[in-house]
Structure formats: structure tokens, C-alpha cells
């Protein structure tokens, strides 16, 4: 059994991408994402990263990054999670103004973001004449 050469260039590129992601406050975890969702035959990784919070506020702000596992195309969205408590009822809403999303569960939010990313990717391929 022979030892394989260390892929130094690959490791350096991964470290640089990870550093860029940390600097810009973007989640970047290729090995163990928060979720993997399949849309139209393509797998997408979903990573949630809380960027703003206040202990007294019912609002949390996330940076959600969707990565197409086939192409490596990455898109980030700003998602607001709002806890609403009125008259004894508790409701959680996830909002993303960029795609006009207002849903009640994290799974619905992930599905909507992946669908928007897939649609944008498909539109880009149509413009380039690939699809």
C-alpha cells in the first residue's frame, strides 16, 4: 500500500474559501450542512448562520447560504425569524423580502429558498444558452 500525495493546492483553496466565508459572516460547511434538499434532480446544501440577535427582541436575523452541490454555485439570503405572541398564541414566521417569502416553519423556508435558487440558476442557464 502506497501513501497518496497530499492535495496541498486543494487544502489551500478550501482554507481560503473558509476564511473568506468567516470574514463575510457566511456559513460555509461543505462536510456537514444543516440540510441537503433535492430540487429538479440537483442537490442543494443549506447552511444557517445567525448574524444578529438581541436578548430582549423576539427577532433573529440569519444569513442562509444555498450551495448547489453539482456546480458549487452559492447564493446567500437574509432571513428574519420573528416570534409573535399575541393573546396566548405563539407563532413563528420566517421572512425573506428578496424572494417575497413569509412562511411558518424552517423547513418551508428552506424549500422556498432552494426553489428560488434553482429558478435563478435555471434562468441564468437559459440566458447563457446552456439549457
Spans of all domains in the chain: 8-128
- The predicted model gives 66-79 an average pLDDT of 83
* Phi, psi dihedrals of residue 112, rounded to the nearest 5°: -65, -40
Q: Provide the grid cell at 24.
A: 463575510
Q: Tell me: pLDDT of 1 over 60.
A: no
Query: pTM for the full model?
Result: 0.67
- The whole-angstrom separation of Cα 80 and Cα 62 is 6
Q: What pLDDT score does 128 carry?
A: 47
Please answer whether residues 113 and 64 qualify as being in contact, where contact means their C-beta atoms are separated by less than 8 angstroms. yes
Amino acid at each position: 500500500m502506497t501513501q497518496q500525495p497530499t492535495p496541498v493546492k486543494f487544502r489551500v483553496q478550501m482554507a481560503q474559501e473558509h476564511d473568506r466565508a468567516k470574514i463575510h459572516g457566511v456559513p460555509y460547511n461543505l462536510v456537514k450542512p444543516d440540510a441537503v434538499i433535492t430540487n429538479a434532480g440537483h442537490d442543494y446544501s443549506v447552511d444557517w448562520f445567525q448574524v444578529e440577535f438581541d436578548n430582549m427582541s423576539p427577532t433573529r436575523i440569519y444569513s442562509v447560504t444555498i450551495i448547489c452541490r453539482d456546480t458549487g454555485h452559492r447564493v446567500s439570503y437574509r432571513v428574519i425569524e420573528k416570534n409573535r405572541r399575541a393573546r396566548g398564541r405563539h407563532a413563528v414566521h420566517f421572512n425573506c423580502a428578496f424572494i417575497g417569502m413569509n412562511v411558518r416553519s424552517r423547513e418551508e423556508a428552506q424549500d422556498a429558498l432552494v426553489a428560488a435558487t434553482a429558478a435563478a440558476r435555471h434562468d441564468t442557464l437559459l440566458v447563457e444558452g446552456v439549457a
